[in-house]
Structure 1
Amino acid sequence: MEKAAHVAGGESAFTYRRGRAIEHARHELGLTPTRIFACLLPLWRVEIQATVTLGRPYDLIDRFLEEAIATAGLDTAAALADFYSLDDILVDRALRFLVRIDHLVEHRERYRLTDLGRRSIQEGERFERKKGDRRVLYFEALTSQPLTREYYDTKSVSIVESHELHRFTRPDKGVRFQPVGPVDGLHANALQALARRPDRDRFNLPGGVEDLVALGADRQVYLPAFVIRAEPRGGGRPHCLVYSQVGAKHDPELSEACTSHAFLAARLEQMESQGVGGLDRERIAEWLDRQGFSSRTPVKRVRGVWRVELPERTFGGKDRPATRKIGQYEVTREMILQLWCGSPHARTRALLDRAAVYLASARSPKPDQAEARLTLFRQQLELDPIDLGRLADLAAEAGHHHLAEQLRELR
């Protein structure tokens, strides 16, 4: 039986901030993110009954008896007991057990192997079938595709029941999530299509689970996710990238389902058109006012993303954005903004600050992992290539001596 997990509310249910997902879309996938939506993606919860074939280690006598039947042509209890010099009662009891687990069939006190018995000998495991096994499968409700195994980890992923929706739609603070709809019923052949997939184990349906039968009515539940509308830089059809609680990388299957769903794609395009048509400017002005910035702050669209350009003196110090915020992304409503500073000196300070935060939180990163992450930071800040040695020298010049030591150790 599935075990219910405590459902944290809103954005606090995620282990990463929305900006991290935006950075992944822009700097690791090479796309241009323009909107991010906090969504509750509809799922179908399907309870099934199945026959499960499980492999276990053989008891010693069981395997010897089956091998003798298969290879020596011995097919009676007496012959097998005589061949192995075993007690007749012991052999008879073992043979009855093997009949009970469908490894042997008996006719007039003679025994022969079943298909399951032959498979067990060939693979060296005692396979047993368990009928009436119950389990739950999840399918997204937009195109009826199954969810991958990661979504069954109740410690990290929230599958939200209808009575729990308020935790996300009306959280105590922070981002409000909106259910996605409308949805169609689960496709009639969705369960059978999953059973036929050669990679079905990826979707939490191991190969030993057979004869699937749905029990009762499918129930609609929800998956919290961030959906990013992103455009290819060379032009073309926009993508809907789905980022879930599994991690700060998009889910390819869920992303494809959202991109191909006509209603959802049309809704996102309508919101994009409204934003570019003037609504974005209004929201930027509201955001600047809330942050205490001048309404005359330069704002321009750079490679498809709104960029708020602030002077170097704006960053650092009391009641000011931290220097490491330069180059990072903010969200107002669903619109994406990037905080920027034209000063290379300020952006280098931001690189050092981000490096310090990363190395303080990372658990003994390998040199190639650390260098890849620092390269990503540098690219986000549009700085020229800097190797670890030069970055360590810059850290020392800026008084970040501990950071300088950490960077030199990575070389």
Structure 2
Amino acid sequence: MIIGFQTKLKVNKKQLAVLAQHAGTARHAYNQGLALCKEVLKHNRVNPEDKIKFPSAIDLHKWLIASIKARLPWYYEVSKCAPQYALRSLSDAFKAFFKKLRGFPNFKKKGRNDSFTLDGSIHVDHHKVKVPVIGWVKTYERLPHGVKPKSVTISRQADSWFISFKIKIETIHTPKAIDFVGVDLGINHLATLSTGEMFDGAKSYKRYYKKLSRMQWLNRHKQIGSANQKKATLKAARLHQKIANVRKDTLHKITTHISKNHAVIGIEDLNVSGMMANRKLSKAIADMGFYEFRRQLEYKTQLHGSKLVIVDRFYPSSKTCSNCGVKKESLSLKERVFKCEHCGFECDRDLNASVNLSKAARSVVSACGLVDADIARLKQEENVSNC
């Protein structure tokens, strides 16, 4: 199985300048290519009879060499891979836009999501990585042994630089304590399992909201570009990074526990973007990280030999009674206890939904031909292999 590996770099002042130069060159190439693509689209819209072929990544790179590199010599001070991969990323962004998977690409701004990709002669040692042009760069943690990545991506978060690349690992089949489990995501509790377990979210943004607001309030009248403004912006960026790290750490611990100890996991296909349209709940929903929770479950279930079942978003898991199966006509968000008028069953709203998701996952797996006996056999084989 191929997964991504990311670690923090330990760089000196000279390397900081070189990394920033690479990121700036990649950003400049991306913005120049985006400006050209917008001109092509504008020309084709105004003159439909004289259409120009939309440029591909190769066309953009040829144009960059002929028009931009010829008059900007500092392009030759960095690796040629930085602008190449930036234009390739721009081409992929337009392909996703034309397929209506994403919005129109935006221009990149200095200091926001700075990153670049390099390939070529890359060597990974115990605590250092050798990349083209930059040379050997140290890391804070020990790197995987025997890895030979074809390319690496170096990115900046606040004032720290990180390197990421793909590694190939073997799947770890852990013994499963429970065959089927349903996971219901919510705001009060991040994850409620059909077994009765409840996991609370980090709510890191809510915890540091006042401190972050104070930083941004003090920074409102500072002169743009001044030393004090840069210091204040860096402090706010560090706090944003801390909030994100606390949230990711909590999500990793919960998803690892669920994927390791459960054979089949049922989770609802939530419309997160639609839920974010509710201005009263959008901040709390974003603070939980529903999309990241599902993303981590998708690859961790493959890593630990589990199966993830995505239940249709229109499945009435909250309105259906998990005891008798009767569906209620309406259920408001204020009702935190599910009460069935047909059989008198009472249960926590999230727990009732998770039980229904577990039943839905069982039915999907049974329809695919994997019955309880097969799951028990796989579970026994995993126990024997682990012994």
Bin for the TM-score computed over the shorter chain: under 0.3
Larger CA Rg, structure 1 vs 2: 1
More strand by share: 1
TM-score under structure 2 length normalisation: 0.25
Between 1 and 2, higher relative CO (CA 8 Å, sep ≥ 6) is seen in 1
